[in-house]
Structure 1
Amino acid sequence: MTKTNGLALVDRDDDGVDRAFRGDVLAGLSQRQKAVPARWLYDDAGSQLFEDITDLEEYYPTRAETEILKGRGEEFAALIGAGRAVVEFGSGSSVKTPLLLRAIEPGAYVPLDISGDFLRESAAALSEKFPGLAVHPVEADFMREVALPDEVAGMEKLGFFPGSTIGNMVARTAVDLLRSMRATLGADHGEAPLLLIGMDLVKDREVLEAAYDDARGVTAEFNLNLARRINRELDGTIPVDALEHKAVWNDEFARIEMHLVATRDIAFSVSGREFAMKAGETIHTENSHKFTRRSANTLLLAGGWTPRERWTDSKGRFSLILAEATEKREAP
């Protein structure tokens, strides 16, 4: 029988608002270059919009990653082994997560996500596909160390972080996340977890920009949803009709940048604080860094993970990397 339970570890204030969300938005809008961390794009509406994005013709990463997961299942099973608790950092994809679970026959599945309703819906849907699998959804901010359910305490663990979400972060934040993943998975307590992580690869600018600015405008709605969320959850008055989506390749930092651009001078408030933007000024909402083999290895090693195996799709667009927690050594 499937076991599905849940833990809620998000710190909310008396109004039910995520304290970290309010803090990040107010701090980010106070900067000269206004910016909000990309993780706040993923409320329930944003999570659903992103699912829609993954089906778009222009958005190649999901198809490329799915190709790897479909074609390399036997290799995953041999390298990872059966019976591990799979800890997914983010609500499970309806396509990718089942492919991995079927390949490796895990002992339990623990999805971690800050978007509670979407988390529970995706966990319930996955439970129907795997009626014999214990599923333990945890509503939590996985950017920090998360206490996993007691039911998986004695199991070997595999972290799963697909989709190249690691590319949304600047290097120092990505390294911090990789280190917190080590801690969540038990590496700091003598365990030897594995991590299967997706990293998108550097490619032609035209392909990249199209993937983040699709012809149907779904990515634009995904980006604009952040402003709507701020208005809804933080008593904001942002004039959403005065913002437009922009995606551009920044070659110096090897990343796509998403911005919300003011089309006219605007003034608005958020949580009682006043802000203003000139026409052409932007709110920087997301980075999507692209990697080479060398830069991917460097990032993983800095975060305490040693790459052990790597797979790419047939067109060389995307990579999945299996890494193991690097043993901590005392400084000489």
Structure 2
Amino acid sequence: MIQITDSLQESVRNEALKGLCVAPGQQKTLSPWLFYDERGSRLFEDITRLDEYYLTRTEREIFAVNAKQIVASLGGPVSFVELGAGTSTKTGLLLCAASHQQNGVLYQPIDVSSSALEEASVSLREKVPTVRIRPLVANYITDGYTIERDLTQEGACRVMALYIGSSIGNFAPHEAIEILSNLRSQLQPGDGLLLGTDLRPGFGKTIAQLEAAYDDAEGVTAEFNRNVLVRLNRELDANFHLDSFSHVARWNEAASRIEMHLESLCEQTVHIAGQTIRFAAGETIHTENSHKFSADSLQALFQEAGFTVSRTWNDPRQWFAVTLARVA
């Protein structure tokens, strides 16, 4: 049975008003977790299959080659908790490997999209019959969550916390540290964190390839970006005109990140949840960051959050990293 937190709907309203009701001249923002209503989750799954979006297939390749080794790296039976699980397509590779190494697998996916979790639950039970799934619909940033521990295994069962897909890159460094520190507070010595991160340009990866991954030729990412306005129209009685906003994706070298914006094409006024928001022509709503990491910035992130790096797996092109860190 899928659990849904009561505060999720209120969080949508609070997050939208906090980001849009700013002083004139200040940057308007919308948090990227607002993308993931049912339609947004489907659109993101479409994005992951695009030629330009190399991140998902590259990380999946790392899991396909190294799943047995990753699961065995904690030295005993493991259970899994995943932040921002989505439809868990890559996670199935790890769960399948674990099912061959131990007696049953406990998996706790946490996501804001109930439809994504429902799809994941059906798919995973078909692929891994011994998996026990405890899905939780919640915003792991604003809502409290409790990690379940598997008490059915013989001997100590470690928790492997998954935060994959380079989702950590959506957050500013201080926010990323806070997310991982909150996760760390529920882990015990012997537990681990498996973090997937996209790496900075280099080793043949160009800025043009990065920008194309967030602004594809078919316009799927643009539709995904504008869908956040569709959600606000539906859930907060807003009146955004979608044709009045264009999708923008650009590389910010100083901050080492791709930025996604929605640019107002004209001077306009929008009403949302009883508030009036004014836009100048050319003004943007900053909707998402995707930070790109180096070995040094990853090391600093883990250290600040209370983890020690244990092992890193890369794809042959060195474009993406999957890092196992232990509780420090």
TM, length-normalised to structure 2? 0.91
Q: How far apart are 1:302 and its partner, in Å?
A: 0.8
Question: What letter matches 2:61 in structure 1?
Answer: E
Q: How far apart are 1:115 and its partner, in Å?
A: 1.4
Question: What letter matches 1:266 in structure 2?
Answer: Q
For 2:112 and 2:135, the matched residues in 1 are separated by 11
CA separation of 1:121/1:73 partners in 2, compared to 1, >3 Å: closer, same or farther?
closer
Please list the CA deviations of residues 246-265 of structure 1 after superposition, one character each: whole Å capped at 9, or x if unmatched.
00000000000000001111
**In the alignment, what sits opposite 2:146?**
147
Please list the CA deviations of residues 65-88 of structure 1 after superposition, one character each: whole Å capped at 9, or x if unmatched.
111111112321331345321101
**In the alignment, what sits opposite 1:58?**
52
CA separation of 1:78/1:118 partners in 2, compared to 1, >3 Å: closer, same or farther?
closer
For 1:198 and 1:150, the matched residues in 2 are separated by 23
Contact 2:192 2:325 in 1 (8 A): yes
Contact 2:96 2:127 in 1 (8 A): no
Given candidates 40, 56, 66, the residue that maps to 2:34 is: 40
- The answer to whether 1:95 aligns with 2:89 is yes
For 1:150 and 1:316, the matched residues in 2 are separated by 34
- The answer to whether 1:296 aligns with 2:298 is yes
**In the alignment, what sits opposite 1:329?**
none
**In the alignment, what sits opposite 1:276?**
278
For 2:15 and 2:124, the matched residues in 1 are separated by 32
**In the alignment, what sits opposite 1:15?**
none
**Greater displacement, 211-220 / 294-303:** 294-303
For 2:177 and 2:34, the matched residues in 1 are separated by 19
Q: How far apart are 1:192 and its partner, in Å?
A: 3.5
Question: What letter matches 1:147 in structure 2?
Answer: T
Question: What letter matches 1:26 in structure 2?
Answer: L
- The answer to whether 1:86 aligns with 2:80 is yes
Given candidates 170, 173, 184, the residue that maps to 1:171 is: 173
Contact 1:242 1:264 in 2 (8 A): yes
- The answer to whether 1:131 aligns with 2:125 is no
Question: What letter matches 1:23 in structure 2?
Answer: N
- The answer to whether 1:30 aligns with 2:21 is yes
For 1:242 and 1:152, the matched residues in 2 are separated by 54
Q: How far apart are 1:33 and its partner, in Å?
A: 0.6
Please list the CA deviations of residues 107-149 of structure 1 after superposition, one character each: whole Å capped at 9, or x if unmatched.
2011001112321222222122212211110111112541235
Question: What letter matches 1:282 in structure 2?
Answer: T
Contact 1:81 1:104 in 2 (8 A): no
**Greater displacement, 152-161 / 46-55:** 152-161
- Counterparts in 2 of 1:161-310, with a 5 A limit? 161-183=163-185, 186-187=186-187, 190-203=188-201, 204-310=206-312
TM, length-normalised to structure 1? 0.90
Please list the CA deviations of residues 25-50 of structure 1 after superposition, one character each: whole Å capped at 9, or x if unmatched.
10100222100111111111111111
Q: How far apart are 1:62 and its partner, in Å?
A: 0.9
Q: How far apart are 1:150 and its partner, in Å?
A: 7.3
For 1:93 and 1:292, the matched residues in 2 are separated by 28
Q: How far apart are 1:232 and its partner, in Å?
A: 0.5
For 2:121 and 2:242, the matched residues in 1 are separated by 32
Q: For structure 1, list consecutive stretches of 5 or more residues without a partner in the other structure.
A: 13-17, 327-332
Q: How far apart are 1:182 and its partner, in Å?
A: 1.5
For 2:137 and 2:288, the matched residues in 1 are separated by 22
Equivalent residue pairs, number: 313
For 1:150 and 1:74, the matched residues in 2 are separated by 21
Please list the CA deviations of residues 271-319 of structure 1 after superposition, one character each: whole Å capped at 9, or x if unmatched.
0100110110000000000000000111111111111100110111100
Q: For structure 2, list consecutive stretches of 5 or more residues without a partner in the other structure.
A: none
Please list the CA deviations of residues 141-179 of structure 1 after superposition, one character each: whole Å capped at 9, or x if unmatched.
112541235766984211011100000000111011001
For 1:118 and 1:93, the matched residues in 2 are separated by 5
